[in-house]
Amino acid sequence: MRGGEQMGKIKVVHYINQFFAGIGGEEKADHRPEVREEVLGPGLALKAGFKDEAEIVATVICGDSYFGENIEEAKKEVLEMVKKYNPDLFIAGPAFNAGRYGVACGTIADAVQNELGIPSLTAMYEENPGADMFKKAVYIVSTKDSAAGMRDAVKKIVPLALKLVKGEEIGSPAEEGYLERGIRKNYFTDKRGSERAVDMLIKKLKGEEFETEFPMPDFDRVPPNPAVKDITKATIAIVTSGGAVPKGNPDHIESSSAQKYGKYDIEGIFDLNPENGETAHGGYDPVYANDDLDRVIPVDVLRELEKEGKIGKLHRYYYSTVGNGTAVANAKKFAEEFSKELVADGVDAVILTST
């Protein structure tokens, strides 16, 4: 008799990361799970939104790196914490466009819902990696890509959360503001299918807006190219989203949400070191990359292979951007530009490295 037995306020447990708990940023991302019987950070906004209907009885906090690197263990610890409070509702986030936070929110909301049977939801930006991973499993409220969208997010989270916990009917993604879950519902209409289809076709022909009843899934699949015929004669280029740049980051590539990429000459460079290279990336601990950038773009190893004749040659330039929070649309645009240059320069194959 969840919710019904106490007749009082709906009990909520809220999950946030170390940043929103005010513990710290990247340097505190290894913070281990803890629970506090208070309302923190975004919970204050939720509390204001819930008014007297629901009460956050506890906030679970976990560092993003800790969760990401110890998923099974972290999940177990957090589940135990949530279970102890036997809440009527569980809310994780919102995570906006923070990738590891989004994945953590999705993972834990999914687990609380399916393993503890407690209604759960989370919220994040549609391009957050956690969105694609979990939007079919749990309700994910669609938010803006930064925390400036907190108020909007809360406005959508509160009514959806209350409906979930009360078992009320949930409207369509467009009505409620959550990401599409790939679920279709039957309904009655007075126009039959052929008529609706013809109406849509006429609108389409006139160039007018129309709304499809069967949206195609958005597959982002890239068919692999045929194998390189003779690798010993091939020119190989390096392309990276790991933020590799010459020392001093001359093009000022942004440490997150990059708006540009760089093209850098590595002629005569046989080994990267703290004097000639560093990373601009703001989403991981840069110490090891700055110490030896070959760890992000393996110039040293490719030079050896070049010398041994195992590859034709290493292309003179590498292309680099920062993948941290960078919009997929921007990344595609960058690649469309420099892929043409790579082809024009006679590059046969590209090694893509991440972080």
Partner 1 sequence: MDLENQRRVKELTEKYGAENMIVLIGGAEAESAGLAAETVTAGDPTFAGPLAGVPLGLKVYHPVEPEFKESVDPDVYDEQIGMMEMVLDVDSIIEEVKAMRDEHTKY
Residues within the interface to partner 1 (CB under 8 A)? 19-20, 22, 41-45, 48, 146-148, 150-151
C-beta of 148: minimal distance to partner 1 in Å? 6
CB-based contacts of 129: which residues, under 8 Å, 6+ apart? Answer: 99, 102, 103
C-beta of 122: minimal distance to partner 1 in Å? 16
CA distance 29 to 70: 12
CA distance 352 to 298: 11
User: Would you say how long the chain is, in residues?
Assistant: 355
C-beta of 96: minimal distance to partner 1 in Å? 9
**Residue pointed to by tokens 């499809």:** 212
